[in-house]
Each structure stands twice: as structure tokens, then as C-alpha cells.
């Protein structure tokens, strides 16, 4: 349903020892996401997970490569056009808006102001408090509350492809299990293809396919069991001497 071909995202790092140097944040990714499957994307901090998710949504323009969604070339479509085609993106750090309530956001996302439909939506995402609907989505919300709102507005769009960037950030430990169940239910009942960027074991266990990204490349593809030795390895800080011309924060001279 989503075909990524030879995807590159290249930036220029200014101020290096040799002046400006180009760096591939996404370094030649090829992958096909299949309809209705649940994918977990994991990997070390700074490996390119958020960038990959943003390239799919069209938030960053890709440097080269192509993206097809349901057989259609979406490489040059805007975010809005991709959203209309059925792709939704949930931010790692959601925006807060002065003067806007959760009800407003949900109404825009769900395309309805009808009270019964909004209530059905908040019930669907496990928010059981009516007063929560009239919460302003501003700086006073906790990190966990804002992530729940972000999740709810993503689900309200009934996307064909839902991308969640670290949905568990700031969420209390007790909410993670129900959140995994919710995303699995959306997959099962609405046939949503789901991509979750996460380090959380609960999401990795729930996934049909785990993709590990390291330095802009897919370095592992399979189930969690096969990924575990690599995940353990990544959690160890392995500094090594730099090779000739090598520029890397994990090597020393």
C-alpha cells in the first residue's frame, strides 16, 4: 500500500573541519508497507525515524527517491493532499493552540460537531471524561494529555495509513497497554495500516513487523525476537577509534 523507493534525505552540516559536509539522514531506504499491517519502527536516537515518518507525510521534501501510496505516485503531493488520500501523522511533540479546545480539534479531524459522534470518538480512544472535551489544548495540559488528544484526532480521521511518532512519550506506564490495544483494535476493526515509531517493548511486541533504523538505513526487518540481540547491542555505548576521514559521534581520534 505504501512503496518507498531509493529514499534519501540529505542535509548540509555547516561548520565541520572541511567546511560544509553533506549527510544522508535517510540513506537509500527501500521498503513496501502492506495493507492492514502493524509496523514498529525502532532504532537509536538520531537514527532517522522521525525524518522517515515526516518524509512519508510530506512534512519534509525528500532529496531523491519516490513514494507510492495505493498505487499512486505521491512523491510531489503536499501534506494536505496526502492527508486527503488517507495518510495521518501524529507528532512526537504535538502543537498546543491558545483558544482551541479538544472539541474543536476533534470536530475538525472527524468532520462533525455532532455531540453523539464526538462522544463516540472519545469513547473509542478510551477517554471517559466528558469534561475533557472542553479542555483548552494549551500549555496547561500535561505531556501525556496532549499525546492522548493527538492520538484521538489522528484516529478521528479514520486514516488508511496512520503514522504515530513515539505515541508513548510522556504517557504514564499504565496507559501504554490500553494504547497498544487501541491501535491494534483500529488495525483489526478499521483495517488501518499502522506505523508506530517507538522504543517501547509493548509496541514492538504488538507489531507484525519490526523495522530497525540505524544511521538512515533499515538494518533489521522481522519479528521482535530477532531484533532483541541488536537492540541490546545498541543500548551498549560502543565507542571505537575513527577510521580515515570518518566523522561520527561514536568514534574518537
Site residues (vs ligand ADP, CB under 6 A): 11, 25, 43, 45-51
CA 111 – CA 121 distance, rounded (Å): 12
The item of ligand ADP, Mg ion, none sharing an interface with residue 82, based on CB under 5 to 8 Å by kind, is none
Least gap, CB of 135 to ligand ADP (angstroms): 28
In sign, the C-alpha dihedral spanning 87, 89, 95, 97 is positive
Q: Which is nearer to ligand ADP, 159 or 216 (CB)?
A: 216
The item of ligand ADP, Mg ion, none sharing an interface with residue 234, based on CB under 5 to 8 Å by kind, is none
Q: Which is nearer to Mg ion, 121 or 165 (CB)?
A: 165
DSSP 214-245: ETTEEEEEE-HHHHHHHHHHHTS---EE--TT
Least gap, CB of 49 to Mg ion (angstroms): 5
Least gap, CB of 217 to ligand ADP (angstroms): 12
The item of Mg ion, ligand ADP, none sharing an interface with residue 143, based on CB under 5 to 8 Å by kind, is none
Q: Rule CB under 5 A: is residue 50 a binding residue for Mg ion?
A: yes
Q: Which is nearer to ligand ADP, 158 or 169 (CB)?
A: 169
- The binding track of 2-41 with respect to Mg ion, each residue x by CB under 5 A or -, is ----------------------------------------
Q: If you search the block for the grid coordinates 495505493, which residue do you land on?
A: 70
Least gap, CB of 150 to ligand ADP (angstroms): 16
If 0-12 CB within 10 Å is exposed, 13-18 middle and 19+ buried, where does residue 72 land?
Answer: exposed
Q: Which is nearer to ligand ADP, 49 or 160 (CB)?
A: 49
- The rounded Cα 201 to chain-centroid distance in angstroms is 16
119 close to 130: Cβ distance less than 8 angstroms: yes
Q: Which is nearer to ligand ADP, 15 or 99 (CB)?
A: 15
62 close to 55: Cβ distance less than 8 angstroms: yes
The item of Mg ion, ligand ADP, none sharing an interface with residue 51, based on CB under 5 to 8 Å by kind, is ligand ADP
If 0-12 CB within 10 Å is exposed, 13-18 middle and 19+ buried, where does residue 240 land?
Answer: exposed
**Total count of residues recorded for the chain:** 253
The item of Mg ion, ligand ADP, none sharing an interface with residue 11, based on CB under 5 to 8 Å by kind, is ligand ADP
CA 3 – CA 183 distance, rounded (Å): 22
The item of ligand ADP, Mg ion, none sharing an interface with residue 227, based on CB under 5 to 8 Å by kind, is none
Least gap, CB of 133 to Mg ion (angstroms): 29
CA 166 – CA 74 distance, rounded (Å): 24
Tell me which residues touch Mg ion (CB under 5 A). 50
Amino acid at each position: 500500500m505504501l512503496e518507498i523507493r531509493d529514499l534519501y534525505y540529505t542535509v548540509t552540516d555547516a561548520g565541520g573541519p572541511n567546511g560544509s559536509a553533506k549527510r544522508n539522514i535517510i540513506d537509500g531506504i527501500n521498503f513496501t508497507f502492506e495493507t492492514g499491517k502493524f509496523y514498529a519502527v525502532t532504532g537509536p536516537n538520531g537514527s532517522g525515524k522521525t525524518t522517515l515518518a515526516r518524509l512519508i507525510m510530506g512534512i519534509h521534501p525528500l532529496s531523491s527517491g519516490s513514494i507510492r501510496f495505493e498505487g499512486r505516485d505521491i512523491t510531489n503531493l503536499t501534506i494536505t493532499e496526502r492527508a486527503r488520500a488517507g495518510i495521518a501523522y501524529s507528532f512526537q511533540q504535538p502543537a498546543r493552540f491558545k483558544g482551541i479546545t479538544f472539541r474543536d480539534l476533534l470536530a475538525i479531524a472527524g468532520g462533525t460537531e455532532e455531540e453523539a459522534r464526538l462522544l463516540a470518538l472519545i469513547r473509542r480512544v478510551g477517554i471517559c471524561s466528558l469534561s475533557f472535551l472542553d479542555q483548552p489544548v494549551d500549555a496547561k495540559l500535561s505531556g501525556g494529555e496532549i499525546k492522548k488528544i493527538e492520538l484521538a484526532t489522528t484516529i478521528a480521521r479514520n486514516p488508511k495509513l496512520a503514522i504515530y511518532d513515539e505515541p508513548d512519550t510522556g504517557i504514564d506506564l499504565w496507559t501504554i497497554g490500553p494504547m497498544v490495544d487501541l491501535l491494534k483494535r483500529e488495525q483489526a476493526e478499521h483495517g488501518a495500516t499502522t506505523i508506530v515509531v517507538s522504543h517501547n517493548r509493548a509496541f514492538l511486541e504488538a507489531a507484525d513487523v519490526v523495522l530497525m533504523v540505524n544511521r538512515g538505513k533499515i538494518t533489521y526487518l522481522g519479528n521482535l525476537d530477532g531484533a532483541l540481540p541488536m537492540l541490546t547491542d545498541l543500548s551498549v555505548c560502543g565507542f571505537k577509534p575513527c577510521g580515515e576521514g570518518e566523522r561520527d559521534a561514536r568514534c574518537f581520534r
